Every structure is written in structure tokens, then in C-alpha cells.
A and B are shown apart, each in its own frame.
Chain A
Amino acid sequence: MMSVSTLASFDYLERLPGTTFRRLYQQPSTSLAIFRRMLPHLAKTFVMALLYMSKPLPLTDLDLWVQPSSKRQKDQALSLLSRLNIVTITAPSREDPQVVSLTKNFKSALQLALTGGGDHQSFGVPSSDVIEDVDLRFLDEYARDQWEGILHYVVNSVGDGMRQDGQGPTLAVKDLLEAGKLVTKGRHSGGGITQAGFSFLLQEVNAQVWTLLLLWIENAEKMSMDHVEVLSFLFMLGSLELGRAYNTTTLTESQQRMLGHLVDFGLVYIPPSTPTQFFPTRLATTLTSDASALRSVSAGFDAALTAATGSKGFIIIETNYRLYAYTSSPLQIAVLSLFTKLSSRYPNMVSGRITRESIRQAISHGITSDQIISYLTTHAHPQLFKTAAAQAGGPVLPPTVVDQIRLWQIENERMKATPGFLFKEFENQKEYEGCAKYADEIGVLVWKSDAKRMFFVTRHEQLRDHIKSRKAK
């Protein structure tokens, strides 16, 4: 199972040109991060097998490693590896069989990363001076404050009188949020949060961090920073150790400038007394951990988040759509108010109703019913879980409410739109079938009609190559 963040960073990486990849893969930390964070297990297996192979491997030999029934997974893994410029596969021709090999930079960088050696300093240089008062707790708290400040700003842009005092994020972060269209300043009366902002808010922390960082990278070019350098720096941060001080003096000049921005996000902490040191926070060190480690680490972060804001489950929802939330956290109340009609607020509780109108409003902002339901489920009060358990594992939320929220969404969502490419005018049935089958195998097919010999795919590059190679044969 891949998390949202993986997909978001994937999409970005896949759009990069090959030259960018060659430069990115010069850093062992980058190669290692992409290897462990971005690749599914089968792709990892291929990479490991190819890592110390001196000659390119014929594709037919690779086929033997995989059960015929798993051809689809194999094709998807290979297609991903070549999109990320990790492997090169020679073009099919009559004379030579197709061979596959790791790209040169990636191969040597990953070897360096795994076995050590070299003086690349790509994993950071620890600082020897020890500061007493910076411990894990302090770093977690610091990261949480910075990050909550940003989330608050996004939520509060809805502007329903719950504006938080305090400084909030810096101007640079605010500009970034606006440039990324997560908020808009003073447009219609509904407020400034956008569709993207909504889904941003409901993502898990790690996914949020990636979303914001990718925005930052996209805007980095405007700030005359090189995105390759930014990316390698982020991947380096992901390989650092939490609670350890690192030297800023070994960083390049532009990396030092980036450090300033990352302080704004709460990804690093620079002690005011010793500006030559920086501490990565949990937000930074979990950037590239692999999926299973991520879950426990982000759970740790969630625990840190909830420690300050009360117990984890605080929402009670009744079959009559009334909602009671035992919280005094302005952030949580603000999130609830995005899809609930809140009516009263007490010192430790807010109450309100979920109405057709409130859900409609949320949906018009681009939030989905599934997001609302999963938010309610994860934050359901222990009492609801107890009732569910008493009914031998019944649903946590009242089914009527869940169904109704879904129905309200369907009512408003009249069409499903998928951008992509329509393929048509195939010369014969055989050509059509071959292409449609291939499109399905690489996982891009969304619709097909055998009668009309047409199909619709989300990407066309590989399919185009496939059609060309068929012509060549």
C-alpha cells in the first residue's frame, strides 16, 4: 500500500527530464531515498539483482524470474523503473534481444550508499558540539508548533471568526500557500480555502509535508534556486538522524539559503545560540522512510500532536445527524466547521449538525464524502468504538449518517472526469486487442469499447512506444 505522499512526489519526479535524473542520482542519499521510498517491492528486487551485474541482462532472462501470472506486476515495476530513469531498456530490434541495465549514475550512487566509501558528504556531517537543552521532546514540540501554525493559517482562511492569535506562519510560507492555490486571498465570501487546500488539510502529516515541499520546489525556480539541488538537499535531510546536530558550514551556499525556508516549515531547527548547527525534526527525518516505518513514526508524531490537543477520539455522532465534539482545539473546531453546521460552543465541547447544506458546501470546496467519513471515523469518540464492539464489530459511525453523506455527494457529483487520451482508428481487431491489453497491463486503461475499437488511457507515452515497436516487428 502506498501513501498519498508517495504518489504526489512520484508524479512530480516522473515529469522531470532525464538530465535532471542523471544529476539527482549523483548523490548517494538521493538514490537511496528514491530506492527505499518510491519503489514497490518487486522493483526493489530487480534493482538489487541488477546492482552488481557487470553486463546488461536480456529481458527474456528477467522474464524467467517472474511467475507468468505476475506479468502485470513485472511490467508495471519495469515501466516505473524506466520512468524514474533507474533502468535503461534498449529499443527492440530484429538483430539484438532487448537488454536491461541500471543507469550508470544510479548504480554507482546506490552502491556507495549501501556499502559506504567516498567523501561525498551526502548524508550530512554531524556536529561535534553538544547542546544540552535540545532533546527529542523539544524538537517534536517545535515542529508541531510550526506545522500547526501553517495548518491554522489554511483553515482560518475560511474566516468564520475563529482567527487564532499568535504569529502564524511567515510571509514566505503564506505566499507559498497562495502560489500553490491552497488558499486564495479575499475572493468570494465563502473564504479563501480552495479545493486543494481542503484535501491538503485532511491528509496525514507526511503527505502534507510533501505537498508543501513540492510546491516549494516548483516555486524554487522562480526564486532562482536549482530544483535539483533542492531535491537532493531534501533527500539528504531524510537520511539524517533525529535529535542530532549537524554542521551548516559544510553545506553549499544555496543549501544554507534553503535551510532558512525549512526553518519556516518546521523541518529543521537552528538554535539561536549556535547558528552553525541545525537539527532535523521528525518532519524532516520521516520524509523518505519507507512505508512501514513511516506509519509508526507518523503515529509517534500524531501522538505528539494529540498530547497537546486532548485525547485522540473526541467526536460523537448520533443517528439524527447531531455531532458533539469534545475538544477545545481551535484547529480541530475549524476543521469540523468545514463540513458541519456548528451551533454551540462550550469550554470543552462544540455541538452541531451535519446537514445537506453543510456537506454540499464542503463538496463544493472539493472535499469528498470519503474524506469526511474517514475523518469522522479516525476521530470517533471511544464510546462509539465501545458501542460498535458491543454489537460484535458493527460500524463505528451510524450507517444512516454515512450513507446519507455519500448520497449527498452523489447528488452533487454528476459526472466523473478523467483527463487522458482517446485511442481510435485501429487498422484491425488484432492491433486493437494487443494495444488495449498492453494498456491494461501497464495500468493506464480506464475505458474501452471492443465494438467501437476505441479505448481511453491516462498516459500515452509508453503505449506510443509500444505501438511503434509493434510496427517495427
Chain B
Amino acid sequence: MPRAIRGVLVECDPSIKSIIVKIDSEEHAYVVEELDDQTLVIQENMLPLLKARLDDALKETQQPADDSGSD
């Protein structure tokens, strides 16, 4: 009999996926199953928290693009 597991399928770039895996490696609270380079299944109730942590992680690595431009 096959098993069914509730969760959220997340599709993203490999780079984003590796960040998610890194976040998960600290407490193992997010990822249910890693499927491939660009897909994984995570806990449904942890999605908002994961998004917030992902944003934090990306803020450290990314420069905000220049957005001046005169009117």
C-alpha cells in the first residue's frame, strides 16, 4: 500500500533549494522530503516561517539594485 504524506510542494532554483536545505539542517523542522535539484516537500505549517528565514538569508547575500532614476 503506498503512503500519502501531507505537505507543500516547493519548486525553486537549485540555489534557493540549497539555502532551504541549509536552513533545515539546523533543526530539521522544515523539509519532509527532498525530491530533486529543484523540488522538495516541506511541512505545511512551516511555510511562512521558512519564507521569512529565506528572505533573511538572501538579504545578507544580495545587494539591493539601484533604483533612483529621475522623474
Judged by a CB distance under 8 angstroms, whether A421 is at the interface is yes
Judged by a CB distance under 8 angstroms, whether B47 is at the interface is yes
Judged by a CB distance under 8 angstroms, whether A446 is at the interface is yes
Are B67 and A356 in contact, CB atoms less than 8 angstroms apart?
yes
Give the CA-CA distance A414 to B18 in the complex, in Å.
12
The answer, among A355, A419, A423, for a CB contact under 8 Å with B44, is A419
Residues 28-41 of chain B, each 1 if its beta carbon lies under 8 Å from chain A, else 0: 00001101100101
Are B6 and A414 in contact, CB atoms less than 8 angstroms apart?
no
Chain A residue with minimal CB distance to B20? A415
Chain A contacts with B in 379-415, Cβ cutoff 8 A:
414-415
Give the CA-CA distance A422 to B16 in the complex, in Å.
21
Point out the residues of chain A lying under 8 angstroms from B58, CB to CB. 414
Given contacts A353-B69, A422-B32, A422-B41, contact A417 B3 (CB under 8 A): no
Point out the residues of chain B lying under 8 angstroms from A420, CB to CB. 6-9
Given contacts A422-B32, A422-B41, contact A446 B2 (CB under 8 A): no
Point out the residues of chain A lying under 8 angstroms from B36, CB to CB. 449
Give the CA-CA distance A460 to B6 in the complex, in Å.
10
Give the CA-CA distance A464 to B2 in the complex, in Å.
10
The answer, among B3, B20, B35, B54, for a CB contact under 8 Å with A425, is B3
Are A414 and B2 in contact, CB atoms less than 8 angstroms apart?
no
The answer, among B33, B65, B71, for a CB contact under 8 Å with A422, is B33
Judged by a CB distance under 8 angstroms, whether A357 is at the interface is yes
Judged by a CB distance under 8 angstroms, whether A19 is at the interface is no
Are A460 and B9 in contact, CB atoms less than 8 angstroms apart?
no
Shortest Cβ gap from B29 to chain A (Å): 16
Shortest Cβ gap from A451 to chain B (Å): 9
Given contacts A452-B35, A456-B41, contact A422 B4 (CB under 8 A): yes
Point out the residues of chain A lying under 8 angstroms from B9, CB to CB. 417-420, 422, 446-447, 456
Are B35 and A449 in contact, CB atoms less than 8 angstroms apart?
yes
Point out the residues of chain B lying under 8 angstroms from A63, CB to CB. none
Are B11 and A416 in contact, CB atoms less than 8 angstroms apart?
yes
The answer, among B3, B5, B8, B65, for a CB contact under 8 Å with A419, is B8
Point out the residues of chain A lying under 8 angstroms from B67, CB to CB. 355-357
Point out the residues of chain B lying under 8 angstroms from A419, CB to CB. 7-9, 44
Judged by a CB distance under 8 angstroms, whether A136 is at the interface is no
Judged by a CB distance under 8 angstroms, whether A350 is at the interface is no
Point out the residues of chain A lying under 8 angstroms from B13, CB to CB. 414
Given contacts A353-B69, A414-B16, A417-B47, contact A424 B10 (CB under 8 A): no
Output the residue of A414, A419, A432, A435 with the most chain B CB within 10 A. Answer: A414
Output the residue of B2, B32, B67 with the most chain A CB within 10 A. Answer: B2
The answer, among B8, B51, B54, B65, for a CB contact under 8 Å with A418, is B8
Are A423 and B71 in contact, CB atoms less than 8 angstroms apart?
no
Are A424 and B3 in contact, CB atoms less than 8 angstroms apart?
yes
Are B71 and A415 in contact, CB atoms less than 8 angstroms apart?
no
Are B4 and A464 in contact, CB atoms less than 8 angstroms apart?
yes
Give the CA-CA distance A471 to B13 in the complex, in Å.
39
Judged by a CB distance under 8 angstroms, whether A52 is at the interface is no
Point out the residues of chain A lying under 8 angstroms from B69, CB to CB. 321, 353, 355
Judged by a CB distance under 8 angstroms, whether B1 is at the interface is yes
Judged by a CB distance under 8 angstroms, whether A138 is at the interface is no
Give the CA-CA distance A467 to B36 in the complex, in Å.
26
Chain A residue with minimal CB distance to B66? A356
Chain A residue with minimal CB distance to B70? A353
Given contacts A435-B2, A454-B35, 9 further A-B contacts (CB under 8 A): A414-B16, A415-B11, A415-B54, A420-B6, A420-B7, A422-B33, A424-B3, A425-B2, A452-B35
**What are 9 of the A-B contact pairs (CB < 8 Å)?**
A343-B71, A355-B69, A416-B10, A418-B9, A420-B6, A427-B2, A435-B2, A447-B9, A456-B41
Interface residues of A, Cβ cutoff 8 Å to B: 321, 343, 353, 355-357, 414-427, 431-432, 435, 446-447, 449, 452, 454, 456, 460, 463-464, 467, 471
Pick the 7 closest A-B CB pairs, nearest first: A415-B12, A416-B11, A418-B9, A422-B5, A421-B4, A456-B9, A426-B2
